[in-house]
Structure 1
Amino acid sequence: MLALALFGALLAVAQPASAVEPPQDFAVHEAPVPVPEISFQDADGQPKTLADFHGKVLLLNIWATWCAPCRKEMPTLDRLQAKLGGPDFEVIALSMDRGGPDIVKKFFAEIGVEHLALNIDTTGKAMFTLGALGLPMTLLIDREGKEIGRLIGPGEWDSPEMMAFIRSHFGAN
């Protein structure tokens, strides 16, 4: 029995950092899968793709100002970006608002978003290309641009469990 307990303790210590359990409802792929090419614009109307962020772990959140659960989770994404954002990680909040960036700017100002960059796809094509069945939908993408997993529906992105899970994919402390 002691040998079994010791083996279990050693196994727990030997687990790689990425062995952190995913939060409830976060679907993780057995192996990372390619993410289809999507295009969108930044706040200045400049074209962007996910390739512009190559080398970073990304949390790509597909949302809209008219989506009540999206509006509720946005402050948690802003806090996550404030806490973990940097050279290794970035939250990309990609709005599907057809009315343009001014609607998103107004919403960000109303709720006090300070750390998220404004990104928008007024065509809605990214949502369909990524297979979003509804909003919000969030993908965790590795440094090579492959999807680690996704959450359909809102998340509490700045919770200790979620932050530990995300950190485990880029080695932040």
Structure 2
Amino acid sequence: MNSNKTTIAALLALLVVAGIYWFMGGQGKVKMAPVAEEKLSMAAYIKQPQPKDLAPFAMVDASGAPKDISALKGKVTLLNLWATWCAPCRKEMPELAKLQKEMGGPDFQVVELSEDLKGYQASADFLKQVGADNLTLYADQKATALDAVKAPGLPVTLLLNREGQEVGRLLGPAPWASDEAKAIIKAAIDVH
């Protein structure tokens, strides 16, 4: 009797699979409507009520020299934590490069902190490939910065004041070259 139940169950399963295959047009896949391109937004930007000191973390520059967060003092800095394997990170990279080109100077800079375990050179090669090699690059070879800034994932971008304190953050990709983003940055620059 158990043998008959097993045979019947197997035949029913086969019929269900055949029905699904037929329903999908014999193609083996469902055709879906195209998904609209996700628009980048500044809606997730969080302004800190008071500037916050960052927990220490280590990073290295192009020569492999160790740096710490004091390297980010002196200018208002947009610090972007990213990795080459992170699709949303890659999506916002042209925005960051454009922002640096338009606003970078004595008062402001965009700094890329790569969380990529492939190391500094792989990240530098990627920035060059996408035309974002105008950005200052550091590498977090021990992948400790993400934990230090208490971010759940990549990308995360911190807006730092001249003292290297966090004044705002945004988790996820954003339109950093937009007028809205520039207004946020200009307000940070104008605070002396």
Q: TM-score, normalised by structure 2?
A: 0.74
1:1-173 correspondence to structure 2 within 5 Å? 23-171=42-190
Q: Match of 1:152, as an amino acid?
A: L
Q: Match of 2:98, as an amino acid?
A: R
Deviation, structure 1 residue 170? 0.7
RMSD: 1.4
Q: Match of 2:134, as an amino acid?
A: H
Q: What is the distance in 1 between the residues matched to 2:115 and 2:133? A: 19
1:108-147 CA-to-partner distances (Å, cap 9, x unmatched) read: 1221113102211121011111111000001111112211
Deviation, structure 1 residue 159? 0.5
Structure with the largest fraction of strand: 1
Partner SS for 2:43: coil
Percent identity (aligned): 43
Deviation, structure 1 residue 53? 2.7
Judge conservation of contact 2:54–2:148 (CA < 8 Å) in 1. Answer: no
Q: Which has the larger radius of gyration?
A: 2
Higher mean C-alpha displacement, 107-116 vs 120-129: 107-116
Judge conservation of contact 1:80–1:158 (CA < 8 Å) in 2. Answer: yes
Higher relative contact order, chain-length normalized (CA < 8 Å, sep 6+): 1
Q: What is the distance in 2 between the residues matched to 1:66 and 1:56? A: 29
Deviation, structure 1 residue 171? 2.7
- How many residue pairs get aligned? The number is 150
Deviation, structure 1 residue 107? 0.9
Judge conservation of contact 1:43–1:117 (CA < 8 Å) in 2. Answer: no
Partner SS for 1:28: strand
Partner SS for 1:170: helix
What runs of 5+ residues in structure 1 fail to find an aligned partner? Answer: 1-22
Judge conservation of contact 2:79–2:111 (CA < 8 Å) in 1. Answer: yes
Judge conservation of contact 2:124–2:133 (CA < 8 Å) in 1. Answer: no
Residue in 2 aligned with 1:16? Answer: none
1:77-133 CA-to-partner distances (Å, cap 9, x unmatched) read: 111111111121111110001111221122112211131022111210111111110
